[in-house]
Amino acid sequence: MPGFQFGSHVIEASQVFFQTRLSYAFVNRKPVVPGHVLVSPRRVAPRFGDLTAEEVSDLFQTSQRVSRIVEREFKSTSLTIAIQDGPEAGQSVPHVHVHILPRRSGDFKQNDDIYHELQKHDKVPLSESTFRSQEEMAAESARLAVYFSD
């Protein structure tokens, strides 16, 4: 199965745990918290305003469905759901994507620290980065995909 285009990157099919005609959900190579996943439209659209009404609807319906599973599977009590729309907002890949991060009481010293972590989590030089292995990401993807086998 071929990969999925994500900006200039290709997401391996083994990292994708759910897809619709217009969107797909995949595990994060460098999660801010365990269970941090992404939902993106299939079409490469750099900014939220570039999406069609149908793509926006599908992206948000997919994000809602994925968020329910992520919250349950990672035993969280809340979620942070975010879109960084443009470079000044912290968007590092010019392809619209929704971050879904499971949250728990006390997971950050200050609740809003998550936004600082989200802003910087993929900005370190690649040589210093600690990306997860393909095997680890595929295992998490398979764990989540079970919930979408309808």
Dihedral, CA atoms, 123, 68, 51, 27, nearest 10 degrees?
40
Phi and psi angles of residue 61, each rounded to the nearest 5 degrees, phi first? -65, -40
The active-site residue, picked from 9, 36, 95, 97, is 97
Element spanning 59, H or E = helix 53-73
Q: How many other C-beta atoms are found inside a 10 Å radius of the C-beta of residue 101?
A: 25
Distance of CA 6 to the CA centre of its chain: 11
Element spanning 61, H or E = helix 53-73
Annotation says 116 is catalytic: no
Residue 44 is given by DSSP the state -
Q: Catalytic site residues?
A: 97
